[in-house]
Amino acid sequence: MKILLIEDDIKLKEYVSEYLEAYGYSVSGIDDFDNVMDKVEEVNPDLIVLDINLPSFDGFYFLKLIRKLYNIPVIILSARSDEGQQIRGMEIGADDYVTKPFSIGILLAKINALLRRVSKYSEAEEEYQGGLSIIHDSMKLNYQDKIIDLTKNEYRILNMLLNNVGKIITREDLLEALWDDTNFIDDNTLTVNMTRVKKKLSNLGVHNAIITKRGVGYVFSRVDS
Q: Which amino acid is at 72?
A: I
Residue at a domain's end among 117, 152, 176: 117
The boundaries of the domain holding residue 176 are 126-220
Q: Structural domain tally of the chain? A: 2
Residue at a domain's end among 73, 96, 117: 117
How far apart, in whole angstroms, are the C-alpha atoms of residue 124 and residue 103?
33
How far apart, in whole angstroms, are the C-alpha atoms of residue 140 and residue 200?
11
Of 73, 81, 26, 22, the closest CA to residue 50 belongs to: 73
Q: Please tell me whether residue 123 adopts helix, strand or coil conformation.
A: coil
- What are the distances in angstroms from CA 185 to CA 128, 150, 153? 27, 17, 10
Residue at a domain's end among 91, 117, 143: 117
pLDDT tens for the chain, 225 residues long, are 899 999 999 999 999 999 999 999 999 999 999 899 999 999 989 999 999 999 889 999 999 999 888 888 999 998 888 889 899 999 999 999 999 989 999 999 999 988 887 754 444 456 666 778 888 878 889 898 888 999 988 998 998 898 888 899 999 888 887 876 545 677 888 899 999 999 999 999 898 899 999 889 999 987 764
How far apart, in whole angstroms, are the C-alpha atoms of residue 98 and residue 20?
16
Residues 94 and 194 in one domain: no
- Torsional sign, CA 17, 117, 131, 171: negative
**Distance between start and end Cα atoms, the chain:** 32
In-domain check, residue 166: yes
Tell me, yes or no, if the pTM score tops 0.95: no
How far apart, in whole angstroms, are the C-alpha atoms of residue 188 and residue 182?
18
In-domain check, residue 20: yes
Residues 7 and 113 in one domain: yes
Residues 141 and 80 in one domain: no
CATH for 193: 1.10.10.10
